[in-house]
Amino acid sequence: MPRRTGINLTTNQKRILRKYMRKAKNVREYRAALGILLRAEGKTAEYVASKLEVTRKQVFKWCSKFKKEGIASLNIRKQTGRPAHAKDMAKETIPKLLQQDPQAFGFLKGKWVLRDISEQLKKEGIHLNYTGVRRALKDLGIGQKMPKLRAPGSIVKNYKKREEIRRYQKIAAALQKKM
């Protein structure tokens, strides 16, 4: 006697699911439809989960939602939440900002860093922290380098330069707070 899977599909439902799979634009929708078809063929939830690389619980959710709501349950709904307006505005402003010298805006360094970009955007009314700036730069395809404060060579040769860097590192935080 075949194992009961808890989901029985008519030939018409199977045809509709296969058609849905062909037109699915999202991998998750395709995977859900395939999972339901495999369960209807008598495959175990463990087998379907391992084949589709999801959890057993997810397979059971697909099946129960399909029983209650039909094919509409497979559609992925639009994500809720607040849209990222600040990031979109920053994407327009950042390229113009990077073309200018940061010292013209009162920053001590000769190159733009994430914190300085974030502060300048806040002055322009776009409140975006430095991680948001990093993501915006990545979306724009702009690479970034991590600055290093160091003097190349031996300690004897660059003793003065190293001393200047140490002094700057001590006062840099205080200078940023005052501005």
Q: pLDDT below 70 — which residues of the chain?
A: 1-6, 145-160, 173-179
pLDDT at 106: 83
Could you give the CA distance from residue 32 to residue 74 in angstroms, rounded to a whole number? 7
75 — alpha (psi -120 to 50), left (phi > 0) or beta? beta
pLDDT at 179: 46
pLDDT at 49: 93
Question: CA distances (Å), 103 to each of 83, 126, 154, in order?
Answer: 33, 20, 30
Could you give the CA distance from residue 112 to residue 101 in angstroms, rounded to a whole number? 8
Tens of pLDDT, residues 113-162: 888 899 999 998 988 888 889 889 988 888 876 656 555 555 555 666 77
